[in-house]
Amino acid sequence: MVKQQSSMHVKGAILLALLGAASTASQAQQKTPYWASIEESEARMRTGPSTEFPVKWVYKRQNLPVKVLAVHSVWRKVKDIDGDEGWLHVRLLSPKRTAIVTGTEIGALRDAPDPAAHVSWRVEPGVVGIIDECDNGYCRFENDGRYGYIETERIWGDEAP
């Protein structure tokens, strides 16, 4: 029984490694600049593309959007919402598109991508959500199961990279 469980653990580890390699490969094929998001709950941004370089920032918020500016092996040079640039290991990033609400006022999530559409939810500046269907000045924005369309000028994570 122990041997079978060990075998299952090895197969699971191999599967996870393959999935990670697939994610890395898909990101490596993208032309910079492109959008990504921080996948881990803690990610260390470094001053250069190696663990030998000092840590510049420690991000402690999963799904934050970042703009990938350059690729060096398994490292990505990224820019955050505040304009800070540094290097993150590719395993800390996800191709999942996210955005953060900007500005100083509450944002409106509408039922349709139209300024006259009904406001279904409101979001505060700093809220992070998953985005898709970005077109004509609006993105579909989802946070914690609630979604609606928000004006692209109210988010960081969508403008042409």
Q: Are 87 and 78 in contact (CB under 8 A)?
A: yes
Q: Are 157 and 99 in contact (CB under 8 A)?
A: yes
Asked whether the predicted pLDDT for residue 27 surpasses 60, the reply is no
Asked whether the predicted pLDDT for residue 73 surpasses 80, the reply is yes
Asked whether the predicted pLDDT for residue 5 surpasses 90, the reply is no
Residue 70 is encoded by which pair of tokens?
């350059």
Bridge-partner residues for 148, per DSSP? 141
Q: Give the pLDDT confidence of 30-65 residue by residue, as tens digits.
A: 899 999 999 999 999 999 999 999 999 999 999 999
CA dist., res. 49 & res. 70, Å (int): 10
Work out the angle at residue 111's Cα, subtended by the Cα atoms of residues 128 and 64, and round it to the nearest 5 degrees.
10
